[in-house]
Amino acid sequence: MSTPRKATPPGIKHAPLELEHFLPYRLSILSNTVSQGIADDYQQRYDLSMTEWRVMAVLARFEGLSAREVADRTAMDKVAVSRALARLVEAGRVSRHMADNDKRRSVLDLTEDGWAIHDVVAPMARAREQALLDKLDEDERQWLVRILDKLQER
């Protein structure tokens, strides 16, 4: 154990990644920081998880979705959605009733309580986004949108 078993051949350099310039890493750090920041605004206050908030946000935007459609729109998997919905319905923040044309399908909506929370949290989320965008000038904001569009293509 104390003697090196084989010296690294002199010519080989290993070329480690420079994480601080590595795009996937930078994206990950940035994304986590931002999402966590927003979550800090509502988590304790409303006992609301990030996934629950995402479900609420999409139901605010599109009323009457099924669980499956929520999953599609949030890029969450259906089990996660099912669990988030169980808590939200239990807490009286989302109403669920059966679609009359298809008894498997649920029809989901925010309740009044759900809307009340939404109407507090959504502006806070927007404010966080704005704080981020404020670091950029107008040119940069436009490039950012264009760049994100291209990176997400396909």
Sites for a copy of itself among residues 39-58 (CB under 8 A): 57-58
Q: Which does 80 bind (CB under 5 to 8 A by kind): a copy of itself, DNA, none?
A: DNA
Is residue 132 a contact residue for DNA (CB under 7 A)? no
Is residue 105 a contact residue for DNA (CB under 7 A)? yes
73, 83, 96, 105: which one contacts a copy of itself (CB under 8 A)?
A: 73
Single out the segment in contact with DNA by CB under 7 A; choices: 8-16, 76-84, 123-131, 145-153.
76-84
The beta strand positions in 54-153, using DSSP E, are 94-98, 106-110
* 33, two tokens: 């920081």
**Applying CB under 8 A, what is the total number of residues that bind a copy of itself?**
55
Greatest alpha-carbon span in the chain: 75
Distance CA 150, CA 11 (A): 39
* 87, two tokens: 């808590």
On whether the CB atoms of residues 93 and 58 are closer than 8 A, the answer is no
Residue numbers of the site for DNA (CB under 7 A)?
Answer: 49-51, 66-69, 77-83, 85-86, 101-106
